[in-house]
Structure 1
Amino acid sequence: MSTPTPGQPVRGSSTGRPIMALLDLLGRRWTLRILWELNQAPASFRELQSRCEGLSPSVLNTRLGELRENRLLENGEQGYQLSPLGRELIEQCLPLAQWADGWAARLVEQNGH
């Protein structure tokens, strides 16, 4: 499977509209988890694999390549880190994370736990 690129056909879209390319990239196994972990702090390959329990080295290597190719992460002094574009993407995801926290709280409240 090739790296999703805006303007090129991607999973679910023959046109490769930018939003479809982004959804294809973010929908790949472990991609969002890797970005989320790097939002917490930069990490070496081994540390990132440890934080993403159950992630195989080959999948991690593939995802890191895709994220680097799409300029969402970069290598820094402390290992892999979000690039400015990656940080901007995570900022756009924060309202979704806040919504998820409220959703979880309402479910717990409704279920009486």
Structure 2
Amino acid sequence: MTEILPKNQKAVRGSTTGKPIMALLDLLGRRWTLRIIWELRESTQTSRSLRELCDDASPTVLQTRLAELRQAGLVELQSGSGYRLTEIGQELLATFLPLHHFAERWRKSQER
């Protein structure tokens, strides 16, 4: 069976095989990546607005993550309006929603 590898066809941190799940977990585990995806959930954002939403993340790190997410096909840059999730990025975001709902229930249980 042929293994489907990420576009760069290289192994990633934590994996010598470059299996898609390992490549995705590597990408999502990078600082600010999940936050960027989360902040793009409802609307297109400019670099400046994303930086503010991400608690003034370093512009260099933010641009690096955005470039990685664009290369991965999860985010796209709209001419004149900013960054938004692609269709596959929206699909990835949908997988976070059960975790988000759990986090809200967990927070409420901690308030008791």
TM-score (normalizing by structure 2): 0.87
Please name the residue that 1:82 is paired with.
85
Q: 2:111 aligns with which of 104, 108, 111?
A: 108
Equivalences for residues 1-113 of structure 1 within 5 A? 5=6, 7-77=9-79, 78-109=81-112
Which consecutive aligned stretches of 4+ in structure 1 deviate over 6 angstroms post-superposition? none
Deviation at 1:41, TM superposition (A): 1.4
The number of equivalent residue pairs is 106
5+ residue gaps, structure 2, are 1-5
TM-score (normalizing by structure 1): 0.87
How big is the alpha-carbon RMSD for the aligned residues of Structure 1 and Structure 2?
1.6
Deviation at 1:54, TM superposition (A): 2.8
**Structure 2 CA distance, aligned partners of 1:9 and 1:50?**
33
**Structure 1 CA distance, aligned partners of 2:49 and 2:110?**
33
Q: Which has the higher helix share?
A: 1
Deviation at 1:37, TM superposition (A): 0.5
The percentage of aligned residue pairs carrying the same residue is 50
